[in-house]
Amino acid sequence: MIFETGLTRSNLDCFCQFTTPTVKSQFLPKSEIRKLNRLWHPWERENVEYFTLSDLWSCYDEWSAYGAGVPIVLDDGETLVQYYVPYLSAIQIFTSNSPAREDTESGDGERDSFSDWSSEESESDKLWRWDGCSSEDGGSDQDSFLHVNNRLGYLYFQHFERATPYGRIPLMDKINGLCGRYPGLMSLRSVDLSPASWMAVAWYPIYHIPMGRTVKDLSACFLTYHTLSSSFQDMDLEDDIESTGRKREEGDGISLPPFGLATYKMQGDVWVSGNSGRDREKLVSLLSVADSWLKQLRVQHHDFDYFTGIRRG
């Protein structure tokens, strides 16, 4: 009966709620707090909560195998549960430390690594803008996009999926296949990552329960964007304490709701009929934020282009 609480929300809210990972968390030892990058964690706090990337991927383990169930109310009042499988669409991880050359060179033709990407870009393009920093503010070290004292940090890993949806493997399988070459995908902590670290998850529908009805709107696909750094969680910590009326305890879990979202094959009003019309505004806002994020980091996200109808020559 877990879905009953979700049915009081709009369908769009339910999708966001039931596909948002809540990651097992820990508190950083006080001796480690002093070592944090102060550009990324400028606040003095008694407790700093974090999660490991391995625990984040664990949230997608069951979803990758069976799908994430999203409760939906149809126009005629009928309810069903639509299942979505997550796929890793894009990810960029920036850290304080320069990656070792052997960790960043890919031999399979995928554009996962710094070395693959840097060969395509001009020197000026390697110096990205972050939080008001212009391209001239960074250095030109061949082993990094920006010097370590800049807000962006060093690119440890990136992947932009190019395969067709039918040629992809679920998110957990993809991560398991990559972590042998990039062990940081399991060991890195959210406090080790710069605010520029992010991932996008593509959600494709597989089936709904009860079966037997063909609802065109249930063929909709979603693209959710999530930050990976504790920097943003630090900013939300005080609000969370105020809303719950208590201090967070270790193991409460850190929720990573999408900050951006794009859709594909969305037809009808099933996803935008709730919240007195505000869902449509929410979709427009989330799409705009995702677009701004990609432009700020100067990246081309292939799934975003496809979902939004952008065709590049």
Instruction: Give the integer Cα–Cα distance in Å for 168 and 80.
Output: 27
Q: Is 237 helix (H, G, I), strand (E, B) or coil?
A: helix
Is the CB of residue 142 less than 8 Å from the CB of residue 114?
no
Q: How, if at all, do strands 22-23 and 254-255 pair?
A: antiparallel
Q: List the chain pLDDT tens, one digit each, 313 residues.
A: 344 444 457 999 999 999 999 999 988 777 676 666 656 665 666 777 889 999 999 999 999 999 999 999 988 888 999 999 999 999 999 987 665 543 443 333 343 333 333 333 333 333 333 333 322 222 233 334 444 445 678 899 999 999 999 999 999 999 999 999 999 999 999 988 988 999 999 999 998 888 876 677 788 999 999 999 887 665 454 544 444 344 555 557 899 999 999 999 888 788 887 776 789 899 999 999 999 999 999 999 999 999 998 766 4
pTM of the predicted protein model:
0.79
Q: How do residues 249-304 score in pLDDT, each as one tens digit?
A: 555 789 999 999 999 988 878 888 777 678 989 999 999 999 999 999 999 999 99
Instruction: Give the integer Cα–Cα distance in Å for 185 and 143.
Output: 19
Q: Is 70 helix (H, G, I), strand (E, B) or coil?
A: strand
